[in-house]
Amino acid sequence: MNTSKTKENKYNIAVIPGDGIGREVMEATISVLDALNLDFDYVYGEAGDECLEKTGTALPEETIEIVRAADACLFGAAGETAADVIVKLRQEMKMFANLRPVKAYPNTNSIRDDIDFMIVRENTEGLYIADQEKLTDEGAVAKRIITREAESRIIDYAFKYAEENGKSKVTGVHKANVLKKSDGLFREIFYEVGQNYPDIEKEDFYVDATAMYLITQPQNFEVIVTTNLFGDILSDEGAGLVGGLGLIPSANIGNDGALFEPVHGSAPDIAGKGIANPIAMMLSAVMMLRYLGEVDAADKVDNAILKLLTDAKVLTGDLGGKATTKEVTEEIISLL
């Protein structure tokens, strides 16, 4: 998950604050990045509900070009236009892998303190494809597309991720007992690709069984790889295991670009109040730093966040504290 950049390089980072609390958590995260000994050149782009109201489009071509020219993109949040923005950016940049870490942090209502796994979700096909859903006289029809090329690519990515990050097991998730052709192919490819990684344990479960196992034995998972819809659902279940969406980052990775964003949405009910939790956005930046190969800097920020949560003295309201976004940001910078 690394680029060829080194610390001598200036990084060109596309920044899309978006809507609602996206602007607040992005400002906080940029402050933390600026406290690191790295050379970032930020190029800002507009997208989201406010952009649609102002310009007539939720994702201007100019913003797409900013992302295309960048080494990586940080995205804050979008409101009602989220699908028009994020899905289109994924398609435009061919970001085939969606990464959702599920990790227990202190003082966050995690159901266990030893949860730490990655969900690797295929991002380009399955049921989430534009123009593959239509109304009929009888109701509606959606087409689910599973190709050998895309599934081989995402499964190989998951095994490589496991190999590069010290994980010893990959779990393939499907529904091959019912979707015998499409998910049957997924399971077949899972074990074909897995043969190239003899040192990594392989297992596969039906998606409904996986949903139960995430509750009853989440500590047993290390890397989960699955198709688009299943990955989307299991990712939010995973967030529930570790205290909710407020601490969950994500990454969208392709051969030509990467976008990093929190998954909490624009939260219009608290936007502008200065009380949003910026940690999910900051953890998304940590994922970006690892993608860029800046592992030491990523560890620095990660450890500062861990210390803040462990001390539990400066926490936002969603974590039981009374701190503002600014106070949390200042504390993390001091812990760096």
What residues act catalytically?
128, 175, 208, 232, 236
Instruction: Give me the torsion for CA of 169, 172, 173, 177, rounded to 10°.
Output: -130
Identify the bridge partners of residue 172 per DSSP, sorted by sequence position: 204, 225
Show the tokens assigned to 75.
């995205």
Pairing type for strands 249-253 and 133-135 reads unpaired
177 C-beta neighbours (distance < 10 Å), count: 11
CB hemisphere CA count around 241 (13 angstroms): 25
**Alpha-carbon 317 to chain mean position:** 23
Question: How far apart, in whole angstroms, are the C-alpha atoms of residue 254 and residue 140?
Answer: 32
CB 144 within 8 A of CB 151: no
Distance CA 314, CA 251 (A): 27
Report the distance separating Cα 246 and Cα 190, nearest Å.
Answer: 32
Contact 134, 146 (CB under 8 A): no
Which DSSP symbol is given to 145? B
Contact 16, 266 (CB under 8 A): no
Separation CA 162–CA 151 (nearest Å) = 17
- Between CA 332 and CA 272 the distance in angstroms is 21
What contacts 66, CB < 8 A, 6 or more positions away? 14, 43, 44, 45
